[in-house]
Amino acid sequence: MAVPTLKAFGVTPVGDERIVRAGNVVTCAGVSAGIDLGMWLAGQIAGEARAKAIQLAIEYDPQPPFDSGHLSKASASTKAAATALLSKELVKPAALKATTLLLWDQAIRAVRSR
């Protein structure tokens, strides 16, 4: 749900992919996607068989109790509730300060590069 916010930082967001690779940078979407990214990296580095063995060794068998983990699956009321939760966090002073500093830094770099 924060994908549109990324545009303010000069990022080209990809909304429907859990893992995105752009050159030598790889990112993932969502908190639990970090485990998926780790598994993907294990497969890239050591091969699929090793990644599968690691997955079994750590017993990573995701079975979420709810199926609302993507905008395409969530109900309108769940989307509204999530938006309200995120909005509350984004207006906290620390979050506003961090966002402002990032945007200011980006603006300064843009002016200097002219």
Q: Is residue 93 part of a domain?
A: yes
Give me the tens of pLDDT residue by residue for the chain, a chain 114 residues long: 577 777 777 788 887 888 999 899 998 888 889 999 999 999 999 999 999 999 999 999 998 899 998 888 999 999 999 888 888 877 778 777 887 888 888 889 889 988
Contact between residue 21 and residue 29 where contact means Cβ atoms under 8 Å apart: no
Residues 2 and 46 in one domain: yes
Residue 83 sits in which domain range? 74-114
Q: Is residue 102 part of a domain?
A: yes
* Closest to 15 in 3D by CA, of 29, 25, 36, 26: 29
Contact between residue 38 and residue 23 where contact means Cβ atoms under 8 Å apart: no
pLDDT value at position 1? 59
pLDDT value at position 21? 92
The pTM score is 0.65
Give the integer Cα–Cα distance in Å for 47 and 40. 9
Give the integer Cα–Cα distance in Å for 54 and 40. 11
Residues 42 and 22 in one domain: yes
Backbone angles phi, psi at 27, to 5 degrees: -130, 165
Give the integer Cα–Cα distance in Å for 105 and 93. 18
pLDDT value at position 40? 96
pLDDT value at position 75? 94
